[in-house]
Structure 1
């Protein structure tokens, strides 16, 4: 089942986020100083934000957070976070969650979606490529930057 995250589920979201992120850092999850609990609480509470989750057997196994970023055109949405529990990779969870995001983007009149993905996260890059995401011509990678910027045509 795919649905909107509830505020009371923030601890589950933080734990899933940490498990998924840890997989693409070769030296372990960095201590980036971000209070991820507060960040997720804010994402859930934002009136213009959306946080969807995939629930299986009462457990959250996937999540996506998106909204129109400040300064972006009104028809653009940014996928800020997209995670699937590593125990459920290659099971169709991510593809179903992405389809639910696209459906919501279209219903909200969003024509373009953007995201950034860690350069070491080759698995996620391949996933996004399979779904039609392309390098963002307006945001080429900068020398030494650790993220790639991708763009998706949500109106197709």
Structure 2
């Protein structure tokens, strides 16, 4: 079963919201308070996705991975959110695969397309933030050529500190 990656459309918002919510609930089950994850709502996330899509930012790219006509993964990237970095730096905001499709190549296909598009548009460095304790994601990014660049941040979810590390990859 081949994976096809394409540009996200507004009609993809329900599937992307499902992937995002289920992805968080799976990936962060032991890292973020369960009450927060249980409160995540696909319907509300679909509405937020639709609002973001309607606002549209031509600098932000959304991609979906399909297998047999069903959306199984989603990625989004664009300008790095911290303005003190060069404009040739880009941020991978999200890359999620539905938990039922982890390990099937959908994540690798999305990453390959993100890297190809970034390289073709002159991006020199791709950055992302990953939860410090998310070993599975850190292994995935390491296999894709990313590594920690020394930057760390912490945010709180329901008062619980959640540390993140920044990963970077230089592009040709």
Verify same fold: TM over 0.5.
Answer: yes
> Of 77, 85, 100, which residue of structure 2 is paired with 1:87?
100
Distance in 2 separating the partners of 1:38 and 1:124 = 27
Structure 1 counterpart of 2:68:
57
Higher strand share: 2
The count of corresponding residues between Structure 1 and Structure 2 is 153
Which is further off, 54-63 or 67-76? 67-76
- Residues 13-32 of structure 1 mapped to structure 2, 5 A cutoff: 13-23=16-26, 24-26=28-30, 27-28=33-34, 29=37, 31=39
Q: Which has the higher contact order (CA 8 A, sep 6+)?
A: 2
Select the structure of larger CA radius of gyration.
Answer: 2
In 1, Cα distance between equivalents of 2:164 and 2:66: 29
**TM-score, structure 2 normalization:** 0.79
Q: What is the alpha-carbon root mean square deviation over aligned residues?
A: 2.3
TM-score, normalised with respect to structure 1: 0.86
- Assess if the C-alpha contact under 8 Å between 1:66 and 1:77 holds in 2: yes
CA distance in structure 2 between the partners assigned to 1:105 and 1:81 by the alignment = 15
